[in-house]
């Protein structure tokens, strides 16, 4: 049966959710040289590579300050610590996201307040945010899910009206651009008071281990977050605040500094694959292609279908049998996660997020997908949904 299904169509190159081996082979010389340089310098922590990468990332994003940290989760935690929030302060996050967004809120003793998302863009829904604001609300953490910015024009206006901080979770959206009504364009992560990103290997700008960064244009916040990431230390061995130990190591910085000049090409390759998928699936009544936030570009960290007229899990199994991986990001919204169950919320409170959790399916998405692979993936999906 399996052989019959494949009918010799399967591409020679194995299909993966993310193909980091092929991507490495293209820039192997630069990566290897950068890593070698760090090893020979023995400056493994806070070396030249880390400050070089910081300067290059500031230039790329337009952020006045980049603070490199150990991972994206630390970036979010340090951002909230930098704002000086107190236990009981409420922080609004979408319920449809990766757990890290709410985890750091809870860890700091702050109160996560979750809101629903939009059906088309899968990003934070502005009316839900408005309704969730109370006198205790201190910050909004929009997530630029799957690689396109949330409705930042409305979020920034709402935050201004209510004197709230905005911390962008741009872990999936580095390089995405948002254009405001006044014509101004800013990068994901540089719009709110603080932005956070992750360099986890599979992210759009990934290192070969863990890494993350914080963006801000505010000098005081930058100084405070830099100190917090370094044990709350401003002058050596003098600790002005309680901090953490979170840093990007020099080997990871060398990898990132070699990859950053390619980020725009990487984004274009992802957009090309997404356009191929869109073309194959557009107008299909069993699958909905990703909806677009009109003011943002999409860097396609994920290409996520909503399977509305077929059995999502059967489709996923069928694809797996043909050697095509597909993933469910995310199967359970925050308010239904065991660790985050809260008497304020019950099933059905966030109907869009709950519906999405039951129907989303992310297809392989990376910089190395070729037409042979894309043709095989799209024709398989279409055959399987019948
Ligand atoms: C990856 C990710 C994070 C966490 O980043 P790590 O580097 O894995 O800690 C946080 N939020 C979102 C939306 C992410 O995708």
In this prediction, residue 378 carries a pLDDT of 98
125: number of Cβ within 10 Å: 23
| 58-79 pLDDT, tens digit each | 999 999 999 999 999 999 999 9
Residue 73 Cβ contacting ligand 1 at under 6 Å: yes
What separation in Å is there between the alpha carbon of 289 and the centre of ligand 1? 24
Average pLDDT score, the chain: 96
Residue 12: its pLDDT value, please? 86
What is the CATH architecture assignment of 262-385? Alpha-Beta Complex (3.90)
- The answer to whether residues 280 and 382 touch, using CB atoms and an 8 Å cutoff, is yes
Q: Which residues contact 142 (CB under 8 A, 6 or more apart)?
A: 94, 123, 124, 150, 152, 155, 166, 168, 169, 192
Question: How far is Cα 170 from Cα 176, in angstroms, rounded to an integer?
Answer: 9
Task: Answer whether 104 contacts ligand 1 (Cβ < 6 A).
Answer: no
- Which pLDDT value is given to residue 48? 95
The residue nearest atom 14 of ligand 1, judged by CA position, is 171
Structure tokens belonging to residue 336: 């239904």
Instruction: Provide the β-strand partners of residue 362.
Output: 304, 327
* Ligand 1 centroid from CA 92, angstroms: 17
Going from the C-alpha of 131 to that of each of 127, 140, 167, 289, the distances in angstroms are 6, 13, 19, 29
Structure tokens at 95: 């319920």
Which atom number of ligand 1 is nearest to the Cα of residue 144? 13
pLDDT of residue 204: 98
Q: Alpha carbon 110 to chain centroid distance?
A: 22
Q: Which of 198, 301, 333 maximizes ligand 1 atoms within 8 Å of its Cβ, making it the mutation to test the pocket?
A: 198
Q: What is the pLDDT of residue 282?
A: 97
Q: Tell me: the pLDDT tens digits for 195-229? A: 999 999 999 999 999 999 999 999 999 999 999 99
Radius of gyration for the alpha carbons in the chain, expressed in angstroms and rounded: 21
pLDDT of residue 340: 93
| CA-closest residue to ligand 1 atom 6 | 72
Helix residue ranges per DSSP H, 62-196: 72-82, 100-107, 126-132, 152-162
Residue 57: Cβ within 10 Å count: 22
Per-residue pLDDT of the chain (386 residues; tens, 9 = 90+): 444 444 457 888 899 999 999 999 999 999 999 999 999 999 999 999 999 999 999 999 999 999 999 999 999 999 999 999 999 999 999 999 999 999 999 999 999 999 999 999 999 999 999 999 999 999 999 999 999 999 999 999 999 999 999 999 999 999 999 999 999 999 999 999 999 999 999 999 999 999 999 999 999 999 999 999 999 998 899 999 999 999 999 999 999 999 999 999 999 999 999 999 999 999 999 999 999 999 999 999 999 999 999 999 999 999 999 999 999 999 999 999 999 999 999 999 999 999 999 999 999 999 999 999 999 999 999 999 98
Q: What's the pLDDT score for residue 38?
A: 97
Return residue ranges of the chain for CATH 3.90.1150.10: 262-385
CATH class of the domain at 26-261: alpha beta
Q: Is 96 close to ligand 1, i.e. is its CB under 6 Å away?
A: no
Closest ligand 1 atom to Cα of 199: 7
- The answer, yes or no, to whether any atom of ligand 1 lies below 6 A from the CB of 137, is no
Residue 155 φ then ψ, to 5°: -65, -45
The per-residue pLDDT for 23 is 97
Task: Indicate the top mutation candidate among 101, 171, 201, 248 to test ligand 1's pocket, ranked by most ligand atoms within 8 A of CB.
Answer: 171
Q: Report how far ligand 1's centroid is from the alpha carbon of 238 (Å).
A: 31
DSSP state of 348: T
Distance 380 CA to ligand 1 centre (A): 30
Predicted local distance difference test score (pLDDT) of residue 9: 72
Where does CATH 3.40.640.10 sit in the chain? 26-261
């Amino acid at each position: 049966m399996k052989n019959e299904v494949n009918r010799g169509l399967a591409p020679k190159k194995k299909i993966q959710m993310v193909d980091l081996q092929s991507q490495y082979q293209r820039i192997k010389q630069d990566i290897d040289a950068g890593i070698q340089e760090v090893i020979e310098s023995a400056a493994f922590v806070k070396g030249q590579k880390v400050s070089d990468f910081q300067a290059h990332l500031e230039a790329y994003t337009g952020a006045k300050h980049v603070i490199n940290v150990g991972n994206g989760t630390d970036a979010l935690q340090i951002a909230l610590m930098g704002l000086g929030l107190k236990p009981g302060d409420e922080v609004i996050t979408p319920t449809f996201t990766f757990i890290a967004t709410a985890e750091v809120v809870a860890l700091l003793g702050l109160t996560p307040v979750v809101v629903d998302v939009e059906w088309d863009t899968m990003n934070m829904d502005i009316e839900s945010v408005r309704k969730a604001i109370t006198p205790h609300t201190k910050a909004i953490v929009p997530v630029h899910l799957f690689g396109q910015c949330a409705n930042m024009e409305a979020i920034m206006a709402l935050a201004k009206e209510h004197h709230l901080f905005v911390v962008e979770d741009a872990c999936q959206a580095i390089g995405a651009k948002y254009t405001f009504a006044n014509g101004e364009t800013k990068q994901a992560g540089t719009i709110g008071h603080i932005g956070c990103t992750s360099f986890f290997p599979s992210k759009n700008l990934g290192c070969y281990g863990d890494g993350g960064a914080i963006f801000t244009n505010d000098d005081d916040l930058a100084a405070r977050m830099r100190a917090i990431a370094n044990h709350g230390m401003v002058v050596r061995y003098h600790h002005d605040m309680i901090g953490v130990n979170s840093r990007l190591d020099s080997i990871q910085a060398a990898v990132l500094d070699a990859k950053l000049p390619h980020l725009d090409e990487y984004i274009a390759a992802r957009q090309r694959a997404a356009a191929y998928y869109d073309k194959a699936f557009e107008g299909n009544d069993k699958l909905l292609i990703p909806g677009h936030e009109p003011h943002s570009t999409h860097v396609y960290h994920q290409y996520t279908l909503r399977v509305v007229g077929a059995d999502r899990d059967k489709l996923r199994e069928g694809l797996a049998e043909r050697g095509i991986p597909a993933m469910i990001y995310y199967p359970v919204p925050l308010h239904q996660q065991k660790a985050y169950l809260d008497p304020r919320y019950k099933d059905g409170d966030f109907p869009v997020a709950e519906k999405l959790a039951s129907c989303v399916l992310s297809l392989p998405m990376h910089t190395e997908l070729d037409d042979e692979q894309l043709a095989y993936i799209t024709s398989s999906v279409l055959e399987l949904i019948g």
